[in-house]
Structure 1
Amino acid sequence: MMQIDLWKRVVIWGIVALGLFYAAPNLFYGRVEGHNDAIQAIEMQGANDALTAQAEAWPEWLPSGLVNLGLDLRGGAHLLAEVEVTDVYEARMTALWPELRDALRPERDTVGAIRRQNAEPGVLRVQIGEPSGMARALEVARGLAQPVVSLTGGATTDIVVTGEGDVLTVQLSEAEMIASDDRTVRQSLEIIRRRIDEVGTREPTIQRQGSDRILIQVPGIGSASELKEIIGTTAQLTFQPVVSRSSNPDERPGIGNEVLPSLDEEGVYYILEEAPVVTGEDLVDAQPSFDQNGRPAVTFRFGASGARRFGDYTAENIGNPFAIVLDDEVISAPVIQSHIPGGSGIITGNFTVEESTQLAVLLRAGALPAELSFLEERTIGPELGADSIEAGKIACIVAFAAVMLFMGLSYGLFGIFANIALLVNVALIFGLLSIIGGTLTLPGIAGIVLTIGMAVDANVLVFERIREELKTARGPSRAIQLGYDKALSAILDANITTFIVAVILFALGSGPVRGFAITLGLGIMTSVFTAIFVTRLLIVMWFERRRPKTLEV
């Protein structure tokens, strides 16, 4: 009854060895982290002697996965940003104007001359020359409406068109505003994630909070201001026709135009058409480079549709200036010398190598659809993280010592077996966290401490049951067998219910709550494995060697 098949023993010890193998790199955290950083740097910028030496500090054949340290343990930056969703309404109306103008032009005999009027942000007002043609103008404008793309949009359209006198008014419908807000925040969330991933930070936390806010926590970054530089720039790149050039920033540009300053030429302003020919959304790639004079620049490439529009415009406007605008500043306004097919080009300016690299990252990750307002920002220094790690170590050591002392005094040799299984249990937790790339936070350490206390619970149930069976004088072998068999259901019930709670915490929680749920859930799985299989195998191996006539549990 005490037999455990050889293949089962091999599987048990194999799992233990595998867990220890993957947990081992965490004992050499600094060396392995330097190795991983060097490998990533070599992939991005090529090898050099320093990076190669750093990469060789850890053998390639050993695992290099580490338990990532969270913001509260490593230090880093914390931002709470609000997405200015109303910016999108204005951009939508600006983009709609050329489309509406082109649709009304064939109807001039009915509606007369058309002219855009000044209006509040998010509203498009167009004056028609013949008020009697308003019905036809409304019909044409409503023909531009599209169904709302959302789960709750129903049969509504994206724009509302009204007419009064000789003024046609267009604005977004309520359903489209709700859908647009959701799309804008989701898009901002994804672009922020891509921008942070591009610069190689470890395990950032990027989560939506409420309807229009985003929580960003990045461990290991120098400061909140550094993080804002990465994600705060909208990087709105547009290519716009130039109307004229001026030195007066207050000059009236006219309806449908705008005045923007030059980035390189002080005191120079450009009057541009508001509607761009192509935008950064048409880009498929952007890389740092150098121009023909060896100055830092950024090369770019459009997708098929953007390349076609770009090529058509340059073919039709040879000899005219063409402005490259980044975040409402004219980077350059070169004169189109010839047709530019293929959709490739280069952005030049007074860039440093670092600035051209960062601009390429921003363009490659995509433009933020709206501005971000930072409501909260904090920089958590590494010394605070070190204090948290030290406090976590003390908590774990105290928990270990108390539990191991209790088990040793209460159950003697069997308690020592349980303590060995407890050490294996914690190693397996770190091995699993390393394999899945999990992040350890201060609440996560609390989960491990709780697991240490719960891990011996299964052994206590088994050992107490063995004590009860010994009173029936069935012999030590039979008592051990029955102790494990009869305690199994109670062990599974207790741990399954706790595991369900951990899953619920992970699904509904965020940030620190998830960190606690992950370590608690993994700890439950490893503690059940060590209690049912590892401790039992240790007892069986001892029993096979000693063959005791009585047991002292």
Structure 2
Amino acid sequence: MLNKYPLWKNLLILIVVLIGVVYALPNFYPDDYAIQITGARSGATIDQRTLERATAALEQADIQFQQPEISEGGGDALIRLGGAEEQLKAKAAVQAAVGDDYVVALNLAETTPEWLAALGAGPMTLGLDLRGGVHFMLEVDMAAAVEQRLEVYSSEIKRRLRDERIRYRGGAQEGDRSIVLQFQSEAVRDEAASEIRSDYDQFRFDTRQQGDVYELVLTLSDAAVQEIKDYALAQNLTTLRNRVNELGVAEPLVQRQGDNQIVVELPGVQDTAQAKRVLGATANLEFRLEARSSASDAETVRMSFRDEPNRTARLEREIIVTGESVSNAQQGFDDTGTPQVNITLDSVGGSAMTRATRNAIQRRMAVVFIEHTSELAEDGESRVRETQQGIISLATIQSTLGSDFRITGLESISEAAELALLLRAGSLAAPMYFVEERTIGPSLGAKNIEAGVLSVQIGFAAVFLFMLVYYRLFGLVANISLTVNLILLVAAMSIISATLTLPGIAGIVLTVGMAVDANVLIFERIKEELREGVPPQSAINAGYGRAFVSIVDANITTLLVAVILFAVGTGPVKGFAVTLSLGILTSLFTSILLGRAIINGVIGGKKLESLSI
């Protein structure tokens, strides 16, 4: 009996191995240490003058570097350096040279050859413990959350009173949780209270009189304030997770800490400028009608245009809808090729927009962009907070509007893309401020990688030596299979963009042992058949055939455990489960199919009197 695979099966195995080699190759090209220059303001571009200042600073500091690489659109520039120490020196030198208008961040630049990149091949994603990344602690501004909700309630109540023809003299917020409405008579005040009391049970209703003004004071209860704070934290958590997903960060950590703080860890992200912009920006929108010329100052607010600070417009204080009503947002272009954002409002927002614009034909409506920013002061505790708002569009209403809009007036493609991302991911229920920021450098992760690789090498070498000594020719085949197994495992993790962490490396070490177990079962079965006097070729066939069921049973149970770990685990546990699961599948392929294909190719067509096993 001769052992031979059909040609198609040999070709299939060869193709799988070649694909594995191609997609594992990028992992043998280490990343370059680099710095990235990005505009501090969204949409800013890097000009040649800025690059000249940066390169001059590097030359003056005697730092070796490669020519800057400007991204498509000119939003940022990357400068490759020689090592970690030069990277830190370069960051300080370039930041001092370009000033506060730009952010210089540590980064890692891929060195994958173009022909591999053209095939879609890229290195594995490394976790925070291996590659480094950024760690943020953000604090939710609970006072602002309550204030914003009060503004919404105030607008709703005023609109309700107007719809019911109940006239009020004025209305304003008082303190941090009250709304005061003023009326001309006690009867009208009581009518207003009766109208809104049933729908706003979160308020305590009080009355008072000042001269001939009758006031209705609505004060949020303690339970209502706590509910607003809980909602703000929960909504911000959800929004942050959505934004991180939009950033494409693998294995991120976004979790609550305490009553008003959120921790975010982004493995592999060294560009803190972009991360802070996307995570921390409220990026909210407000749609307001332009005020009539007869409107009083108390009923209006004057705002500047975002791209023309000296140009202003008077807008109504009442907000039609906010970015919270946006259900979808996509970047696009108008007929002239100018960037715009196409947005869709939800049913509530669409109805509000229809009501507001039905009687506002030929009036102008403004789209106001609002962004809250902050930074730590030198004492490391107090925060400098700033709210930036500006009109990005002031267009004439030609017909009654519904749920679909186009926002124009954006400066660049990158600004349109970022605004669409933030709106699509959801608005923050309250502003957040960065109270802690740590960049975990790749040099720290490099030490963990060295330790992990060393553990794999030691385990592999020990197994390699044992198999070669104990099983001789068949041990050599097992070692070849084990080598290919590691290559396929690395390729599979690269293809699916799985994140490699220290627990993941432990999974690789475990995979080495499990792959050897399968070979040991096969080889021991062959030896047993030989002891019973079975001819060598028949013993090989029986060894692979009869050990197959045992190997599959053992690996399937382990695979089920790995799937459960992935389903219920988080962070490092998931990383271990992914590596283990892929390792089981590649081990089955190399132990059963590849190993036998090699043996078939070497001795499968020969008449043997004995086996070197």
TM-score (norm 2): 0.66
> Which one-letter code corresponds to 2:563 in the other structure?
V
Supply the distance in 1 between the matched residues of 2:161 and 2:304 (Cα, whole angstroms): 32
Q: For 1:222, which of 270, 280, 291 is the aligned residue?
A: 270
Contact 1:185 1:212 in 2 (8 A): no
Q: For 1:538, which of 598, 602, 610 is the aligned residue?
A: 598
Supply the distance in 2 between the matched residues of 1:314 and 1:108 (Cα, whole angstroms): 19
Unaligned runs of 5+ in 1: 47-53, 146-158, 245-252, 292-296
Indicate the residue corresponding to 1:160 in structure 2: 202
The alignment covers a number of residue pairs equal to 496
Indicate the residue corresponding to 2:283 in structure 1: 235
Indicate the residue corresponding to 1:93 in structure 2: 150
Is the alpha carbon distance of 1:86 and 1:26 closer, same or farther for their aligned partners in structure 2, counting shifts above 3 Å?
A: same
Supply the distance in 1 between the matched residues of 2:552 and 2:353 (Cα, whole angstroms): 62
Measured after TM superposition, the shift of residue 205 of structure 1 is 2.0
User: Pairwise CA RMSD of aligned residues?
Assistant: 4.8
Contact 1:262 1:329 in 2 (8 A): no
Supply the distance in 1 between the matched residues of 2:178 and 2:557 (Cα, whole angstroms): 55
> Which one-letter code corresponds to 1:68 in the other structure?
T
Q: For 2:130, which of 56, 60, 73 is the aligned residue?
A: 73
Contact 2:303 2:391 in 1 (8 A): no
Indicate the residue corresponding to 1:249 in structure 2: none
Measured after TM superposition, the shift of residue 432 of structure 1 is 1.3
The percentage of aligned residue pairs carrying the same residue is 33
Supply the distance in 2 between the matched residues of 1:279 and 1:485 (Cα, whole angstroms): 67
Post-superposition CA distance 1:503-540 (Å, at most 9, x none): 12222222332222211110011112211222223233
Is the alpha carbon distance of 1:5 and 1:323 closer, same or farther for their aligned partners in structure 2, counting shifts above 3 Å?
A: closer
Supply the distance in 1 between the matched residues of 2:74 and 2:186 (Cα, whole angstroms): 64
Contact 1:310 1:340 in 2 (8 A): no
Supply the distance in 1 between the matched residues of 2:396 and 2:495 (Cα, whole angstroms): 55
Post-superposition CA distance 1:429-487 (Å, at most 9, x none): 12212221222233322221221122101111222233333332233334334433443
Supply the distance in 2 between the matched residues of 1:549 and 1:122 (Cα, whole angstroms): 94
Indicate the residue corresponding to 2:512 in structure 1: 452
Residue 118 of structure 1 aligns to a residue whose secondary structure is strand
* Match runs of 1:237-252 below 5 Å: 237-240=285-288
Measured after TM superposition, the shift of residue 393 of structure 1 is 2.7
Please identify, of 453-462 and 386-395, the stretch whose mean Cα deviation from structure 2 is larger: 386-395
Is 1:185 matched with 2:234? no
Is 1:140 matched with 2:195? yes
Measured after TM superposition, the shift of residue 55 of structure 1 is 10
Larger relative strand fraction: 2
Residue 474 of structure 1 aligns to a residue whose secondary structure is coil
Post-superposition CA distance 1:185-242 (Å, at most 9, x none): 3233213433x35xxxx64625445797655333444354653234222223335468
Is the alpha carbon distance of 1:22 and 1:463 closer, same or farther for their aligned partners in structure 2, counting shifts above 3 Å?
A: same
Q: For 2:388, which of 322, 329, 341 is the aligned residue?
A: 329
Supply the distance in 2 between the matched residues of 1:3 and 1:213 (Cα, whole angstroms): 65
Indicate the residue corresponding to 2:252 in structure 1: 205
Measured after TM superposition, the shift of residue 10 of structure 1 is 3.6
Is the alpha carbon distance of 1:83 and 1:491 closer, same or farther for their aligned partners in structure 2, counting shifts above 3 Å?
A: farther
> Which one-letter code corresponds to 2:131 in the other structure?
R
Contact 1:26 1:67 in 2 (8 A): yes
Supply the distance in 2 between the matched residues of 1:333 and 1:23 (Cα, whole angstroms): 47
Supply the distance in 2 between the matched residues of 1:508 and 1:65 (Cα, whole angstroms): 29
Supply the distance in 2 between the matched residues of 1:511 and 1:242 (Cα, whole angstroms): 50
Post-superposition CA distance 1:301-347 (Å, at most 9, x none): 665859878977875657xx96945334343699x796677966655
Q: For 1:169, which of 209, 218, 237 is the aligned residue?
A: 218
Supply the distance in 2 between the matched residues of 1:333 and 1:380 (Cα, whole angstroms): 37
> Which one-letter code corresponds to 2:370 in the other structure?
L
Unaligned runs of 5+ in 2: 35-67, 76-110, 209-215, 372-386
* Match runs of 1:383-422 below 5 Å: 383-422=443-482
Contact 1:71 1:218 in 2 (8 A): yes
Residue 78 of structure 1 aligns to a residue whose secondary structure is strand
Indicate the residue corresponding to 2:17 in structure 1: 16
Post-superposition CA distance 1:36-82 (Å, at most 9, x none): xx99955x679xxxxxxx99942676443432233333333122435
TM-score (norm 1): 0.72
Supply the distance in 2 between the matched residues of 1:97 and 1:420 (Cα, whole angstroms): 73
> Which one-letter code corresponds to 1:71 in the other structure?
L
